């Protein structure tokens, strides 16, 4: 009874704050058994004439695909699936319950004592999701504490004026090669940002010991939250927000910042509707956060040898090209081989099995993503990493989608870290 009351109170608070409720929304999971079914899922939005929110895109035969449906569209979607012989499994019966739980977790987390954290950034709780301001304040404290080998800079400001801070971690020397890691380009994929923060903490704490050789040789650049306008919107207004916050265009906000890059922009896997979650924008690089990232990558593409972009979810280690199926860069064998090493390193930690695959072949082609752009400007080791949850771990956490409870942050980050270091070590040893 107490629990019901507290949930009711939360629901009232959420409504009062204007937080999008998703009452009665379900998440369905389907596993296509043939190419026709995959194709039907990919075309579902177009055929039905409304936007089903895909949490995990339709991909190859035998791979799970998750999507959220509003209650009023449920029978229409069920009929569509039945027509193609697809049997769905309900993985989330009511998304609002999940969101209430996530809000409760946010409200109950202990407040940060910034005085202590400023003196010792290791006091910062890495097993929680944080506000943009707290993330930036922590980055400042890390840079101040470890100033002999950490520098802090900004990629620039977002549309709403948020600072896109990043750290460069490594012994100061001229002309070093570097690994770039970004996270959170999709707003709702919170565990990606959290994993980037954990990665920073591991590197700065291990600098003088296990990572000395690595960080003497290369720099690791980490931009832990590269769509902060969207991130804050997903924290404060709509947990399922994916895009930026530009607009409105036709009454809708945001562009998918991972469809807004110029390489083969708009050719596949996008929507031209500003109300779609995969809207590619009116033209390439309309989004300020993408412009800021592009400027840095362009200016440093001689030294940046690896680009890892952290997303959730699915447990996939993905290499280019993504814009077209069966289309690969000339060094695809290198990319695949190193990807398999990274996946093995991940699996060695908690047993989580990642799928290593080409972006367009394993997902569906989607043009205008940051990985393809980075590869196109000459960066060698480029991967999109889809973190937990997924089908490859034994934690039985797949039902959470983007709302992965905070208790899974550390296991996720712990297993991801050695995968990232496989790429870092490869850049150190070369050739790149």
- Residues involved in catalysis: 386
**Cα 67 off chain centre by:** 17
Nearest approach in angstroms of CB 111 to Zn ion is 30
Indicate the residue among 186 and 398 with the shorter CB distance to Zn ion. 186
**What 3-state class would DSSP assign to 272?**
coil
**What 3-state class would DSSP assign to 329?**
coil
Q: Strand pairing partners for 357? A: 318
Residues 426, 371, 262, 293, CA torsion sign: negative
Distances (CA, A) of 306 to 70, 338, 349: 40, 12, 23
Strands 218-223 and 177-183: parallel
CB 280 within 8 A of CB 270: yes
Nearest approach in angstroms of CB 24 to Zn ion is 25
Residues 6 or more apart whose Cβ sits within 8 Å of residue 295: 155, 156
Indicate the residue among 162 and 311 with the shorter CB distance to Zn ion. 311
Indicate the residue among 37 and 234 with the shorter CB distance to Zn ion. 234
**What 3-state class would DSSP assign to 90?**
strand
Residues 139, 166: Cα–Cα separation, whole Å: 8
Indicate the residue among 53 and 219 with the shorter CB distance to Zn ion. 53
CB 216 within 8 A of CB 208: no
Nearest approach in angstroms of CB 188 to Zn ion is 8
Residues 6 or more apart whose Cβ sits within 8 Å of residue 89: 28, 29, 30
Indicate the residue among 59 and 426 with the shorter CB distance to Zn ion. 59
Nearest approach in angstroms of CB 311 to Zn ion is 3
Record the tokens describing residue 242, joined without a space. 């994916």
Record the tokens describing residue 97, joined without a space. 């319950």
CB 167 within 8 A of CB 225: no
Indicate the residue among 235 and 311 with the shorter CB distance to Zn ion. 311
User: What are the φ/ψ torsions at residue 97 (nearest 5 degrees)?
Assistant: -65, -40
Indicate the residue among 186 and 324 with the shorter CB distance to Zn ion. 186
Nearest approach in angstroms of CB 177 to Zn ion is 27
The residues binding Zn ion (CB under 5 A) are 186, 311
Q: What single string gives the DSSP state of each residue in 224-267? A: --S-HHHHHHHHHT-TT--S-----BTTB----TTS-SSTTTTS
Residues 379, 382: Cα–Cα separation, whole Å: 7
Indicate the residue among 305 and 311 with the shorter CB distance to Zn ion. 311
Record the tokens describing residue 253, joined without a space. 């906000």
The residue count of the chain comes to: 432
Nearest approach in angstroms of CB 98 to Zn ion is 18
Nearest approach in angstroms of CB 401 to Zn ion is 12
Residue 368 carries which DSSP code?
S
Nearest C-alpha neighbor of 422 from the set 311, 332, 319, 306:
306
């Amino acid at each position: 009874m107490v629990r019901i009351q507290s949930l009711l109170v939360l629901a009232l608070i959420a409504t009062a704050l204007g937080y999008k409720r998703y009452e009665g929304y379900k998440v369905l999971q389907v596993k296509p058994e043939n190419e026709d079914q995959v194709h039907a899922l990919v075309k579902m939005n177009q055929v039905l004439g409304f936007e089903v929110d895909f949490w995990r895109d339709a991909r190859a035969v035998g791979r799970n695909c998750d999507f959220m449906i509003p209650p009023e569209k449920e029978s229409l979607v069920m009929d569509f699936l039945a027509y193609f012989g697809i049997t769905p499994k309900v993985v989330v019966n009511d998304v609002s319950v999940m969101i209430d739980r996530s809000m409760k977790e946010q409200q109950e987390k202990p407040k940060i004592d910034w005085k202590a954290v400023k003196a010792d950034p290791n006091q910062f709780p890495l097993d929680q999701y944080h506000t943009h301001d707290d993330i930036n304040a922590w980055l400042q404290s890390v840079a101040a504490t470890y100033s002999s080998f950490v520098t802090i800079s900004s990629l620039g400001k977002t549309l709403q004026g948020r600072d896109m801070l990043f750290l460069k971690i490594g012994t100061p020397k001229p002309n070093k090669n570097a690994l770039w890691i970004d996270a959170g380009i999709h707003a709702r994929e919170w565990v990606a940002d959290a994993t980037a923060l954990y990665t920073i903490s591991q590197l700065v704490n291990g600098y003088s010991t296990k990572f000395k050789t690595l960080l003497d040789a290369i720099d690791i650049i980490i931009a832990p939250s590269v769509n902060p306008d969207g991130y804050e919107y997903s924290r404060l207004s709509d947990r399922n927000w994916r895009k930026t916050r530009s607009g409105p265009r036709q009454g809708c906000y945001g562009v998918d910042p991972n469809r807004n890059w110029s390489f083969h922009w708009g050719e596949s896997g996008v929507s031209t509707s500003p109300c779609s979650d995969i809207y590619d924008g009116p033209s390439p690089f309309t989004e300020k956060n993408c412009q800021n990232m592009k400027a840095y990558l362009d200016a440093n593409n001689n030294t940046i040898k690896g680009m890892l972009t952290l997303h959730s979810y699915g447990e996939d280690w993905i290499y280019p090209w993504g814009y077209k199926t069966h289309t690969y860069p000339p060094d695809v064998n290198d990319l695949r081989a190193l990807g398999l090493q990274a996946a093995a390193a991940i699996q060695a930690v908690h047993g989580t099995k990642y799928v290593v695959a080409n972006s367009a072949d394993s997902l569906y082609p989607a043009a205008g993503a940051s990985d393809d752009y980075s590869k196109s400007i000459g960066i060698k080791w480029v991967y999109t990493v889809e973190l937990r949850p997924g089908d490859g771990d034994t934690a039985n956490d797949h039902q959470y989608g983007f709302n992965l409870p905070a208790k899974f942050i550390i296991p996720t980050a712990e297993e991801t870290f050695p995968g990232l270091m496989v790429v870092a070590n490869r850049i150190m040893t070369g050739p790149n």
